[in-house]
Amino acid sequence: MTLLGRRVLIGLAVLSVLLLALVMRPFFEALLLAAVLAAAFSPWYERLARKLGQRRTLAGGLFILAIVFALVLPIVGIALAIAQQAEDAIAPARTAYQTGGVNGVIDSLPAPLPSLVREGLARLPKGGQQVEDLARTAAGRILSGVGTFFVTTGNIFFQLSMMLVALFFLLVDGPALVRWLVEISPLTSEQMDELLLGFRDVSTAVLAGSVGTAFIQTCVALVGFWLAGAPHALLLATATFIAAFIPVMGAGALVTATAVVLFLTGNTGAAAFLAFWGLGVVSSIDNFVKPVLMRGRLEVNTGVTFFALLGGISAFGPVGMLLGPLIVAFFLAVVRMCQKELGTPLPEAPAAAAVTAAASDGDTEAPTTPGP
């Protein structure tokens, strides 16, 4: 091939990659999460496929169905519990309105809200047109917030659906996809194995760290719910477990929201305790426990894992919780490949070198002096 032909071919390859990235960009988060779950769940899926006589499509369908049930059933239970909680919270206000009107509702609020509400009402404009404009503005903001909520919820369910579809195909066709990547890659099979092994290790570490942290946060939150006397403590703990996987929300936010509900129902002391418990205890667990749990599988310093998580979330948003550790693992894999190719071992870390030297000194026998 001529030099011009090679340049054209390289240009076409770059163009095809850019167009592929443009097409896949709306599904990036869903595809990344599917790839991480496929790498982490592949041993379980392969075991299920062997038990079903290598009927991989059937095994993939059953696996996805199990994940759907694991997601849908808790969400339905939580939604019913929230509806019951809302009904319980509204019931006193409804009774107060029936007996005393608006003033009765204001008087039923926990202190010091009644005086604050009356002060706010006294400052409202008295003109009819001004009140009408204020009401119209408030209604517009409420409708806008409701619309944003439904759009966000719909996008989440859409991405979740795309993730499940991608996970199905990655589980069923995963081995063939890996072989294809190894064949077309300019790297050697050993180097590709190094990269794929690093991706699988990070995927397993992120999944194990997230599940372990969510479990610990749920147990701590459940203790707080019981101590505060919150109703439906077990269902709230289940909701806390699910919220722990949402970086934007988190388990601490749900505990704090429960504290707000307790405050509105008059349980001021319990609300103050639960707010402190959610913000000061439950929320802080994620920052310290997750890096420790991930370190056990990544064999990376806990501080590096900690900053990989925070830096990934800061740079890429919620998906950075996956991208941060993946970038660190990719860097370490490339360093190991360069080390093997160049044939120069990396220097030991100071702490590791000191431990090795101490062990060597302990194993060395002292020289014996000849007897008389």
Using alpha carbons only, how large is the chain's radius of gyration in Å?
A: 29
Distances 296 to 202, 203, 290 between C-alpha atoms, Å: 11, 13, 10
Tokens representing 300 are 């990376």
Please report the pLDDT score of residue 213 as a whole number: 87
In the block, tokens 């899926």 appear at: 45
Residue 300 burial (10 A CB sphere; 0-12, 13-18, 19+): buried
SS (HEC) of 19-65: HHHHHHHHHHHHHHHHHHHHHHHHHHHHHHHHHCCCCHHHHHHHHHH
What is the per-residue pLDDT across 205-258, written as a single tens digit (0 to 9) for each? 888 888 888 899 999 999 999 988 887 788 788 888 888 877 666 788 888 888
pLDDT for 311 equals: 82
Per residue in 156-199, pLDDT tens? 778 888 888 989 998 888 888 888 888 887 778 888 888 888 88
Q: What is the pLDDT of residue 345?
A: 55
CB contact at 8 A, 62 and 172: no
The residues, any chain, with a CB within 8 Å of residue 185's CB and separated by 6 or more, are 192
Side-chain half-sphere exposure of 167, counting CA atoms within 13 A: 28
Distance between CA 329 and CA 263 in Å, rounded?
A: 46
What is the model's pLDDT at position 364? 46
Q: Say what the pLDDT of residue 343 is.
A: 66
Determine the pLDDT at residue 155. Answer: 77
Q: Which residues of the chain have pLDDT under 50?
A: 127-128, 349-360, 362-372
What pLDDT was estimated at residue 370? 46
Task: Kindly report the pTM of this predicted structure.
Answer: 0.65
Task: Name residue 37's amino acid.
Answer: L
